[in-house]
Homo-oligomer: A and B are copies of this chain.
Amino acid sequence: MVRLKLGMVGGGQGAFIGGVHRMAARLDGCYELVAGAFASDSLRAHVSAAELGVSVDRSYDNYSDMAKAESARPDGIDVVSIVTPNHLHGPIAEAFLAQNIHVICDKPMTATLAQAESLMAAAAVSDASFFLTHNYTAYPMIRQAQQMVTEGALGDIQIVEANYLQDWLSDVPKTDNKQAMWRTDPTQSGGGAIGDIGTHAYNLVCFVTGLRTKTLNATLHTHVAGRAVDDDARVTLHFHGGARGHIWASQVAVGNENNLTLAVYGTKGSIRWSQENPNNLWFSKLGAAPQMFTRGGGSSYPSAAAVTRIPAGHPEGYLEAFATLYREAAEVIIASGKTTQQSAVIGIEQGFEGVRFVDACQRSSKAHAAWVTL
């Protein structure tokens, strides 16, 4: 099997999501990490590189140098992972796309709508692909959910409900909590709960149902005194075709860890799924006993089986789903070197949709929950 050469921007010591990306890249053996600009602080960058087995000459001080130098090498990276705070996603992605290096970027795609538009333009003229890690879409039972909706098992979709509840920002965070600090700084994050987790919920809704938003209203609220971004967001969605949706994203809902749930109700049936027990998918057909589909079980759909690694009853989790995104990106890259038609893969269009969603929610909320279009 071909193993792609991978670089990384961000993800040095003390980071969280960088390590996740690295484990995801390793699990299926499709990538080898060979280069990086792991931190804005030069010392921390190089120490991190050494720890990660990246050679000194490919540990860079900044992403700009890295993009140019790797592009110039005959053995330069095929793809770069961007795992920095949100406001840097756009500029970094553009730098690598300009060198025709594929990009795998953490979400949300950018911190602002202007950045998103700029990145869209850059991607349009690049020979490389852009992948966004809305990782929850890669859980096997979410793939099955999408297939069930598409095949009509639920009838016409009427109601969609997605909640993403956390409690880790219930208090004023300590200043040494890097994750909390940049996420609650609007200049780095572009938004609070709505951007950090609301976009995941929205992406999941769109991915599974294929519905398109007609109008929405939103209330973004800040419960913790002094916080500069929202920590609790409610969004009501009216979709084209008449279906209704609701998203609740909160980072102050005490007792919740990463409680992302999705329910889709149609005229004939419904499905329910919870990220914290991702190997099960409940299906209720109107008038019949609810059934619990299990990942890998005899009742699995092909779409779930295709991204299942181990037998039923042996739980797969978050890292496996993340790794599936990495594997699917590798398959796209290896297949064509350039594509924008990526089946289940989340690409730049979905990323743009997510940034537009955040922007619309912020506009609605400022207007006291007025109805707005994306």
Contact = CB atoms under 8 A, between A and B. Distances in A.
Interface of A: 1, 3, 16, 19-20, 22-23, 26-29, 51-53, 154, 158-159, 161, 166-168, 170-171, 217, 219, 221, 223, 232, 234, 236, 244, 246, 248, 250, 252-259, 263, 265-270, 272, 275-279, 282-294, 296-299, 309-320, 368-369, 371
A22 B26 contact: no
A310 B319 contact: yes
Interface majority SS on A: helix, strand, loop or mixed? loop
Which of A161, A255, A297, A371 is packed against the most chain B CB atoms within 10 Å? A255
A257 B317 contact: no
16 contacts: A1-B51, A22-B29, A23-B28, A29-B53, A159-B253, A161-B248, A167-B284, A221-B244, A232-B244, A254-B265, A254-B269, A255-B270, A289-B298, A310-B319, A316-B317, A317-B317
A217 B282 contact: no
Contacts of A53: 1, 3, 29
Contact of A234 (B23, B246, B291, B310): B246
A170 to B, nearest CB: 6
Contacts of A293: 289
Nearest to A219: B236
A168 B312 CA distance: 10
A253 B232 contact: no
Contact of A255 (B255, B276, B282): B282
A300 to B, nearest CB: 9
Contacts of A268: 254
